A and B are shown apart, each in its own frame.
Chain A
Amino acid sequence: MKALVLFALLALGCSAASAMEKGDEAPNFKFEHSWNTLPGAKQLTDYRGKIVFLEIWKIH
């Protein structure tokens, strides 16, 4: 039974990345398009040295 639960957990773990939590490294990503960003910033790591507030938008 234990093995089965472990197997199920592993399967879940592989199915999707878990949500980013406190202490995790924020995954870097390259901007496909940008407005009003810092001069020359092309990806999230270009914001090192700042406190960054990231929010996901859904407009439509």
Chain B
Amino acid sequence: MPHLKELNTKYRDRGFELVAVSAEKSDKVEPFVKDKAIEYGVVLYSNIAKDYGLKGWPSAWVVDPEGKVLWAGNFIDRVTDAEWEAWLEQVTPGKVGREVAKELKPAAKAFDAGEVGKAQKLAEEAAAAATDDLVKADADFIQGLVEKHRVAHQGKIDKAGSDAVAKAKALDEAAAKFKGSELGTKWETEAKELKKSKEYKDCSASADELEKVRGKLEDMKPSNARKALEKIAKKYPETPAGKEAAELAKKYEE
């Protein structure tokens, strides 16, 4: 499902989540999820066709933050970037979208340019200096928009869980967006520390080794494939790739 991978990469730090639903058995779905190294959500629900009145069409939906259907169809490729932008605006606004007091203009400009951290810092400074309630209200408004981005990034960092490589990547993305604010510096430091850790090095090395082996598995004798996978599993028993290698190795047992 290359189109899903592309969507996930494009919008994953914008409070967007992809959930593929299958009514099949987990022993059929699991190898697929693992072999294709799928990063987005995959769930099983046996009654999905009945509950969603599935008759072939539509078989895909976009659901808004309150749980209402925004779009129903089959070919997500037909949804334009502008439509996605309008939907994502609800969760992670890209623009301030209204007039603000002159004290908040620099913050609004930074926000519109995607410099969320800079916008946060400028809005905080303007709020601290403000004596006028209208200026304070505009500062609150911009800080509210910034908060939505913070929540989306924090969600991505949390979702990475014990996968140190995914977590470092999420921290880097978050730090870049929040550059210029305290939070951006905090995330940047966390990413640096994490990358120095043994946990990260093992996670990264095991993922690389598994990728190399994965590409050759089909041409290998089953016994050799098993040995190569077991070697990775033994070397890195605690990393996600190490655990995955152990699972994959089972498929090549005689």
Residue numbers of A with Cβ under 8 A of B are: 16-39, 41, 44-45, 47-60
Contacts and interface: CB of A to CB of B under 8 A. Distances in A.
9 contacts: A32-B44, A33-B29, A34-B41, A41-B41, A48-B66, A49-B15, A50-B17, A55-B21, A59-B32
B16 A53 contact: yes
Nearest to A42: B43
Interface string B72-95: 100010000000000110110000
Given A18-B53, A50-B16, A56-B48, 4 more contacts: A31-B43, A36-B40, A51-B62, A56-B20
Complex A-B, nearest 5 residue pairs according to Cβ-Cβ distance, in ascending order? A17-B53, A19-B53, A33-B44, A31-B43, A37-B41
Interface stretch (B123-131, B154-162, B196-204, B229-237): B154-162
A45 B17 CA distance: 13
B102 interface: no
A51 B15 CA distance: 6
B65 A48 contact: yes
Nearest to B47: A29
Given A20-B53, A37-B19, A51 B88 contact: yes
Query: Secondary structure at chain A's binding surface: helix, strand, loop or mixed?
Result: loop
B26 interface: yes
Given A17-B52, A50-B15, A30 B45 contact: yes
A56 B54 contact: yes
Nearest to B16: A51
A26 B69 contact: yes
B59 interface: yes
B60 A50 contact: no
Contact of B38 (A27, A35, A56): A35
B45 A52 contact: no
A53 B62 contact: yes
Contact of B45 (A29, A58, A59): A29
Nearest to A39: B158
